Amino acid sequence: MSEANKELVRRHFQEIWNQRQLDVCEQIMADSYVEHAQAPFGTTEPGAVVGPQAMRATVQWLLAQFPDMTMTHVRASVALVQDRGRQAG
């Protein structure tokens, strides 16, 4: 994985989730992507979403349920933008 991709993953966890800087969603999320899981608050099937808006909504919903939640980045794979993390809170 390139250093630039590793930095995106780091920012996703550290800035969006842990520092609650939701404006970072517009900086690092793709304009659209395919969501493979239905969000717990969702009413539509998984599929294409507006990236920054979808991420912002997911973060806001989860933090409303678990206000002290934090995420720890564990590793990123070599070949893909794939990640494993831990949640606490």
Inter-residue contact 63 to 79 (CB < 8 Å): no
* Residue 46 confidence (pLDDT): 78
Per residue in 28-69, pLDDT (tens digit) is 999 988 887 766 666 677 788 888 998 998 899 889 988 998
In the chain, the percentage of residues whose pLDDT exceeds 70 is 75
pTM over 0.85: no
Tokens 């969702």 map to which residue? 42
Tokens 């780091």 map to which residue? 10
